[in-house]
């Protein structure tokens, strides 16, 4: 049973890495939007991983 949990966690981690890599390739505006969304969705996680959740104006 623990093997399944570890395997599922690895799959979820891979999905997360793919998502972050995809957004980073799209540029600074996409990265800022993702950070803004994550800060709204889970402020605790953002503080824990060191993301800045201060209001940032998008690049124009």
- Does residue 2 fall inside a structural domain? no
- Does residue 37 fall inside a structural domain? yes
- Does residue 10 fall inside a structural domain? no
- Does residue 42 fall inside a structural domain? yes
Q: Which residue, among 59, 10, 7, 50, has the nearest Cα to 32 in the 3D structure? A: 59
DSSP 2-38: HHHHHHHHHHHHHHHHHHHHHHHHH-HHHHHHHHHHH
Model-level pTM?
Answer: 0.64
- Does residue 58 fall inside a structural domain? no
Range of the domain at 36: 28-53
- Does residue 48 fall inside a structural domain? yes
Question: What DSSP character marks residue 58?
Answer: P
Number of domains, the chain: 1
Segment holding 40, helix H or strand E: helix 28-41
Residues in the chain: 60
Q: What pLDDT, in 10s, does the model give residues 13-60? A: 788 889 999 999 999 999 999 999 999 999 999 999 998 887 655 554
């Amino acid at each position: 049973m623990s093997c399944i949990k570890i395997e599922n966690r690895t799959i979820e981690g891979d999905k997360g890495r793919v998502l972050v890599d995809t957004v980073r390739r799209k540029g600074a505006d996409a990265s800022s939007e993702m950070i803004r969304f994550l800060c709204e969705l889970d402020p605790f996680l953002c503080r824990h991983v060191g993301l800045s959740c201060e209001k940032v104006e998008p690049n124009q």
